[in-house]
Amino acid sequence: MLEAGTFYRENQSCLFRVWAPLCKQMVLHLVSPEDKEIEMTPQAGGYFVADIPNLPVSTLYYYRPDNQQDYPDPASHFQPEGVHRPSKVVNHHSFSWTDQAWRGIPAESLVIYELHVGTFTQEGTFEAIIPRLQDLKELGITALQLMPVAQFPGNRNWGYDGAYPYAVQDSYGGPEGLKKLVDGAHANGMAVILDVVYNHLGPEGNYFHAFGPYFSETYKTPWGKAVNFDEAYSDGVRDYFANNAVFWSRYYHIDGLRLDAIHEIFDRGAVHFWEYVGQKLRRESMRTGRKCWLIAESDLNDPKVIRSNDTGGFGFDAQWLDDFHHALYVLIHEGGKERYADFGAIHQLQKAYEAGYVHSGEFVKARQRKFGKSSAGISGEHFIVFNQNHDQIGNRIYGERLSMLVDFDALKIAAGALLVSPYIPMLFMGEEYGDETPFYYFVSHSDEELIKMVCKGRKEEFSAFGNCDDAPEPHDISTFKKSVIAWDIARKGKHKILRDWFKKLLRLRKTHPALQSLNKNHIWCNVAGQNGLALYRRSEGEQHLLLALFNFGPETVKYTLPAGTKWGMLLNSDDPCWQADFNGAEPATAADDVKKTVSVKPLQFIILEQQNQDITN
């Protein structure tokens, strides 16, 4: 199928192509630097085209379907004046990439860092992130994950209200800024994953109805009409979004896509939309030699999401594992039960480590039905785990991070639980040093009625968790400004200690053979009492064995180590250098011998290393 969009060539000609299968006529209106109207030529498949020679790259343009009115291009690559104004031609050949040797990061080396471009720095731009890359690399981060950057209304938004999936947000720095960031990340050995939204389009600036049947009359989502992936004229819609995945890989060298709420995409066709996306991306990867990961946010607890197309699956490379977050969060925060009533038992964290999904067919109170299917046997590189992300923080009334809800020892054990898991870990910006600024939900719509609807919707959502009359207003600029993280505290006091703790854990994860394996056949857990857990991690060659001991309860837990085995201490969260008030330097790590019985205090986390090799599971 053909691709919609503008294709600026090195000879300075430009092909304009728009999909509008129900339209009888289409006019290309060039508005700058010269005002000119051009009748477009219809093509098969519902497309209209115009091929213009000697076109200035500064050209601004609209489309006019069936003599209605001027609209921006649905496949615009740049909206420099916002969602309601003209689209701009982009010359993708003009950027000088320096990443020709870049081939990506293997799954076992991925450590993902989710960030929001607008609040990651005071400047709120792509280029302002680049000076921070070395700091993140030194910490142990190997991949950035950017919250959505597709053009949204105004200059502050989470990004899930994007109205132009191909256009890079102008207030962040537009196409040039994103390319500079990706090139800079690759130069620092870091991949870039982009959060994209295919399940809906934002309400403001959304003029898709004027061009074609992009939306379904059969299905609905929490955000309104579902996108039309399986009804009449859906071929053009499927291509529009599937080609978008290729677009980010081809023109921006993006290494992976995180797909928002894949369960809100409905497709009863023989070739599911996600299979179609995967096919296109695999062909692109063969062309470039660079893999582009597909990562799902899924509320299905169904292993078909991450199974291959050959076995009837959607073919995602990985998915977010919410169950891990819920199981751990309720153990370290006493208020966790209010949000996750079906969690709270230590054996659920054990199941998250050993199998993946915690809910795998059991009755779930929050859903009032049986939910999920077992993911036991699916290897760890197919799951991404986290203690925090934009949703878990921003969907609280006051945007509290974990550092604002629990004490320092709880932050340490949470970091330990995350980074010794057999899964791909993800941090949320500022988590590594315990940033204490909130991360609120914010928007900058221009439609007053839409602003009222957003505010009302947020308050209704929060009402289940108590009085929210004083909740920050999403459209208030102060809500956005209060969400900008505080880099100035990262190297001070307890924040430096926590950052060093993360750095130590990430170094161990990178260098110790037992933590490098994402094979779940090489892990097993034992529960101790009501709140203790012993997690064993074995290397692929079985020469190395680590034992992580946790105590999530208020009483000391005693662990009896396997007989006939000598153990050394690798890491102990109770050591003086890991206390919030420690002012000295970190001592050299010593693998001190550990006795047969280990007492673990409340919220203490320990890693032991096997000193001989005569242990068996």
Query: What's the CATH code of the domain at 523?
Result: 2.60.40.1180
Closest CA to 443 of 407, 409, 416, 483: 483
Closest CA to 202 of 454, 473, 474: 454
Closest CA to 134 of 179, 192, 193, 188: 188
Question: Strand, helix or coil at 86?
Answer: coil
Residue identified by tokens 């190297």 is 491
Q: Are 446 and 522 in the same domain?
A: no
Closest CA to 6 of 235, 247, 252, 276: 247
Count of domains for the chain: 3
| Token pair for 569 | 């201490």
Question: What is the gyration radius of the CA atoms in the chain, in angstroms?
Answer: 25
Does the model's pTM come out above 0.85? yes
Task: Look at strands 424-428 and 112-115 and give their pairing.
Answer: parallel
Asked if residue 232 is part of any domain, the answer here is no
Closest CA to 439 of 475, 486, 470, 400: 400
Q: 602: domain range? A: 513-610
Task: Provide the greatest CA pair distance for the chain.
Answer: 85
Q: Are 116 and 192 in the same domain?
A: yes
Of 498, 533, 548, which residue constitutes the final position of a domain?
A: 498
Asked if residue 330 is part of any domain, the answer here is yes
Asked if residue 224 is part of any domain, the answer here is no
* Res 463: pLDDT: 65
Q: Are 480 and 553 in the same domain?
A: no
* Res 617: pLDDT: 40
> Which string of DSSP letters, residue by residue, matches 238-251?
HHHHHHHHHHHHHH
Task: Look at strands 143-146 and 112-115 and give their pairing.
Answer: parallel
Task: Look at strands 215-221 and 532-538 and give their pairing.
Answer: unpaired
- The torsion of the CA quartet 567, 573, 579, 584, rounded to 10 degrees, works out to 40
- Residue 65 is part of a domain; what is its CATH number? 2.60.40.10
Q: Are 120 and 79 in the same domain?
A: no
* Res 103: pLDDT: 94
Of 60, 88, 116, which residue constitutes the final position of a domain?
A: 88
Asked if residue 221 is part of any domain, the answer here is no
How far apart, in Å, do the first and last CA atoms of the chain sit?
Answer: 54
Residues 565, 610 contacting (CB under 8 angstroms): yes
Q: Are 278 and 341 in the same domain?
A: yes
Partner residues linked to 194 by β-bridges: 146, 257
Residues 425, 418 contacting (CB under 8 angstroms): yes
Q: Are 32 and 176 in the same domain?
A: no
Q: Are 24 and 80 in the same domain?
A: yes
Q: Are 252 and 280 in the same domain?
A: yes
Q: Is 260 a catalytic residue?
A: yes
Neighbouring CB atoms inside 10 A of 68's CB total 12
Asked if residue 151 is part of any domain, the answer here is yes
Q: Are 422 and 482 in the same domain?
A: yes
Asked if residue 96 is part of any domain, the answer here is no
Q: Are 455 and 526 in the same domain?
A: no
| Token pair for 299 | 């509320």
Residues 21, 45 contacting (CB under 8 angstroms): yes
CA of 51: how far to CAs of 38, 224, 341, in Å?
10, 36, 59
Residue identified by tokens 């496949």 is 75
DSSP 361: S
Q: Are 21 and 156 in the same domain?
A: no
- The torsion of the CA quartet 423, 146, 493, 510, rounded to 10 degrees, works out to 30
Query: Which residue among the candidates 73, 275, 297, 302 is catalytic per the annotation?
Result: 297
Beta strands (DSSP E) in 222-376 are 224-227, 256-259, 293-296, 318-320, 362-364, 369-371
How far apart (Å, rounded) are the C-alpha atoms in residues 560 and 546?
Answer: 15
Of 498, 532, 567, which residue constitutes the final position of a domain?
A: 498
DSSP 71: B
Asked if residue 209 is part of any domain, the answer here is no
pLDDT average per 10 residues of sequence, the chain (617 residues): 90 97 97 96 97 96 96 98 98 97 94 98 98 98 98 96 97 98 98 98 96 95 94 97 98 98 97 97 95 97 97 96 98 93 97 98 96 96 98 94 98 98 98 98 90 78 69 93 97 97 98 94 93 96 92 96 89 96 64 79 97 53
- Residue 491 is part of a domain; what is its CATH number? 3.20.20.80
Asked if residue 443 is part of any domain, the answer here is yes
Closest CA to 198 of 231, 239, 140: 239
Query: Which residue among the candidates 73, 161, 204, 260 is catalytic per the annotation?
Result: 260
Q: Are 122 and 255 in the same domain?
A: yes
